[in-house]
Amino acid sequence: MIRIFDTAQSMVVPLEVGSTVRLYVCGITPYDSTHLGHANTYLTYDVLIRRLEDLGHRVEMVRNITDVDDSILPKARELGIDFLELAEREMTRFAADMDALNMRPAVAEPRATESIPGMIDLISRLQDAGHTYEVDGITYFDVTTAPRFGRLSGYDHTTMVALSAERGGNPADVRQRNELDFILWQPSAADEPSWESPFGDGRPGWHIECSAMSWAQFGETLDVHGGGSDLIFPHHECELAQSEHGYGQSFARHWMHTGMVAYQGTKMSKSLGNLVFVSDLRASHDPAAIRLALLGHHYRDDWEWFDGDIEDGEARLARIRQAIAVHTGPDPTAMLAAVRDALDDDLDAPTARDAIDRFARQTIDGRGDDPRAGDGLAEAAQLLGIAAA
Ligand SMILES: [Zn+2]
């Protein structure tokens, strides 16, 4: 049984899932290339998927593409190209990065621009149930109609207001009834895409996109909802409120969030210009070494990337491949059990990685003559998504 830290419960709990696991992970806004923060997040769910598959589950992972929102439109304007052209270009790059990093594929990658009818349907449901109001053509969600709003993050009001202002909300806007209300639908600017809707011509708010896309794919309660920890509030809190009140069902059994990756002393972010791109790293390094470097950190931790980290990843990768080629070594049974135990213990990849490395070193040192060593090591490495050759 896998145990993970559930954000909503604020503790490590057994992952309660059936034979098919429905996993929804918030995807990229395709306006810039994949950086290590993205890679770290998607790698976390990739390792979870691999261990679940190893246990015999079938995992259906859906990862959306936010191809219309408040960040892609200004970027397209700045570049002087259509936002869909920008999205297309970055989606192709993202797919190549995910492929190179040996990520298990999503069963669906819905695009926001192709999911508008579902968003309109959800907003209509919320409107019928009395959760919305309209000012100046903007349709808002009234958070006072969702008594449990805030229970996912557990943040106090002041923190929620501060994070809302920082992450796309506008708590100071006097048109809102409450500081934490958020936009469901809004008029588009003259050069922005616009869709017809019962709430006027316009475009969706950010949060409604994921609620509608996850419902369109699964149509029932998600087993696990994932994303970076910077999405807990407001994005996931708002998704939760909308989905539960709109569809009348529990939204997700488990919430699982990944830590932030810093570089040069601060969180990697577009606005600070301190991004390390996967495409740059893999131009001169084996993508499996990137995986190994990232897996040296627990998924829930915030941590800093140092340029030398990739060399450590390369060295570990070389030892794994060298050891597999040796063919004989120690009995791999205990190592395999240690790797699986570590992953089951809140996805402790650093411990799993170290168990693999210790075994590889022993094999290279000529310890043991068990002919199963190579296969055992390859099997363990595969759990971390590292191919034998
Ligand atoms: Zn999302």
CA angle 125, 232, 77 (to 5 degrees): 80
Beta carbons within 8 Å of 181's beta carbon, 6+ residues apart: 140, 141, 142, 143
pLDDT (tens digit, 9 = 90+) per residue, 331-341? 999 999 999 99
Give percent of the chain with pLDDT exceeding 90.
94
Q: How confident is the model at residue 389 (pLDDT cuts 50, 70, 90)?
A: confident
141 alpha carbon to ligand 1 midpoint, in Å? 17
349 alpha carbon to ligand 1 midpoint, in Å? 25
Residue-level pLDDT at 388: 80
249 alpha carbon to ligand 1 midpoint, in Å? 18
65 alpha carbon to ligand 1 midpoint, in Å? 9
Q: How confident is the model at residue 23 (pLDDT cuts 50, 70, 90)?
A: very high
Q: Is the pLDDT of residue 60 over 80?
A: yes
Q: How confident is the model at residue 229 (pLDDT cuts 50, 70, 90)?
A: very high
Rounded Cα–Cα distance for residues 9 and 20 (Å): 22
> How many residues belong to the chain?
389
Residue-level pLDDT at 254: 98
374 alpha carbon to ligand 1 midpoint, in Å? 41
1 alpha carbon to ligand 1 midpoint, in Å? 27
Contact (Cβ atoms closer than 8 angstroms) between residue 15 and residue 4: yes
pTM above 0.85, yes or no: yes
Contact (Cβ atoms closer than 8 angstroms) between residue 228 and residue 41: yes
pLDDT (tens digit, 9 = 90+) per residue, 33-58? 899 999 999 999 999 999 999 999 99
163 alpha carbon to ligand 1 midpoint, in Å? 16
Average pLDDT, the chain: 96
225 alpha carbon to ligand 1 midpoint, in Å? 9
The arrangement of strands across the sheet holding 252-258 comes to: 58-63, 20-25, 222-228, 252-258
Residue-level pLDDT at 22: 98
Rounded Cα–Cα distance for residues 386 and 389 (Å): 9
366 alpha carbon to ligand 1 midpoint, in Å? 49
Residue 344 phi/psi, 5-degree rounding, is: -70, -20
Q: Is the pLDDT of residue 270 over 80?
A: no
Give percent of the chain with pLDDT exceeding 70.
100
Strand partners, 228: 258
Residue-level pLDDT at 354: 98
Q: Is the pLDDT of residue 159 over 90?
A: yes
Mean pLDDT of the 10-33 span? 95
298 alpha carbon to ligand 1 midpoint, in Å? 22
Please report, for the chain, the start and end positions of each structural domain, with discontinuous segments joined by +.
19-129+145-165+205-262, 308-383
Which of 39-43, 67-71, 288-292, 376-380 has the least mean pLDDT?
Answer: 67-71
4 alpha carbon to ligand 1 midpoint, in Å? 20
The one-letter amino acid code at 353 reads R
Cα dihedral across residues 32, 33, 35, 39: positive or negative: positive
Mean pLDDT of the 148-161 span? 97
244 alpha carbon to ligand 1 midpoint, in Å? 15
126 alpha carbon to ligand 1 midpoint, in Å? 18
Maximum alpha-carbon separation in the chain: 76
Rounded Cα–Cα distance for residues 53 and 343 (Å): 13
pLDDT (tens digit, 9 = 90+) per residue, 100-130? 999 999 999 999 999 999 999 999 999 999 9
Q: How confident is the model at residue 357 (pLDDT cuts 50, 70, 90)?
A: very high
Residue-level pLDDT at 173: 96
Contact (Cβ atoms closer than 8 angstroms) between residue 100 and residue 56: no
Residue-level pLDDT at 315: 98
235 alpha carbon to ligand 1 midpoint, in Å? 6
- 3-state class percentages of the chain: helix first, strand second, coil last, to nearest 5: 45, 15, 35
Rounded Cα–Cα distance for residues 291 and 269 (Å): 20
Question: Is the model more confident about 33 or about 60?
Answer: 60
Rounded Cα–Cα distance for residues 75 and 63 (Å): 22
19-129+145-165+205-262: which CATH topology?
Rossmann fold (3.40.50)
- The class (CATH top level) of 308-383 is mainly alpha
Q: How confident is the model at residue 206 (pLDDT cuts 50, 70, 90)?
A: very high
26 alpha carbon to ligand 1 midpoint, in Å? 4
Rounded Cα–Cα distance for residues 134 and 138 (Å): 5
Rounded Cα–Cα distance for residues 114 and 120 (Å): 12
Q: How far is CA 180 from CA 146, 168, 170, 227, 232, in A?
A: 11, 11, 8, 21, 14
Q: How confident is the model at residue 131 (pLDDT cuts 50, 70, 90)?
A: very high
Q: How many CA atoms lie within 13 A of 289 on its CB side?
A: 20
Q: Is the pLDDT of residue 245 over 90?
A: yes
DSSP code for 216: H
308 alpha carbon to ligand 1 midpoint, in Å? 32
213 alpha carbon to ligand 1 midpoint, in Å? 9
Identify the helix (H) or strand (E) that includes residue 11.
strand 11-14
Residue-level pLDDT at 320: 98
Q: How confident is the model at residue 343 (pLDDT cuts 50, 70, 90)?
A: very high
